[in-house]
Amino acid sequence: MNDCLTFFRYADANDADDITAIFKNNKLWFSHIKKCHIKKKIKTKECIFENGVVIMYKILKMPFKLGDILIEPNNTVIEQIVRDDLQNQNTFAHHVLTKFLNCIPGTTYLSVDINNKRAINFYYKMSMSKISSFISNNDRKKKFIFMHKKTFI
């Protein structure tokens, strides 16, 4: 594991109920997330739970197709990012995602429902680029694909 990734607070089994509740509170965008999936991501250390922010992700070992984009191994796909209280105006999500994007290997990709304006604006603020769109096979909804490519000075 990348040493940088040790600075995150990873979810443990005791967090599963709290994380499930966060997804249920955001069911408009995350109705498909089941507790068994959350437990699997916790077990594989692919679920960060820090300051009420949840990031579930996958560092790819094999090529992966997201819409029409082929993502090569050693890059990262954020599967979900959500925070606990959207009414509370804080910068925890910005802080946790910034740390994540700086630590995680390779280029980071994610997809988002085109109607999720709040998330889309957040990804733009995080200097992510919209690179494509597609219709999801899972829910038949249109999604945008965003990418964050590391830039080294």
How many CA atoms are closer than 13 Å to the CA of 54, on its beta-carbon side?
A: 29
- CB-based contacts of 103, cutoff 8 Å, min separation 6: 2, 4, 5, 7, 8
Model confidence pLDDT, tens digit, residues 9-57: 899 999 999 988 888 887 767 777 788 888 999 999 999 999 889 999 9
* 76-83 vs 47-50, strand pairing mode: unpaired
Q: What is the pLDDT of residues 76-122, one digit of tens each?
A: 999 989 888 665 565 788 888 999 999 888 999 999 999 999 999 99
Q: Are 76 and 58 in contact (CB under 8 A)?
A: yes
Contact 24, 62 (CB under 8 A): no
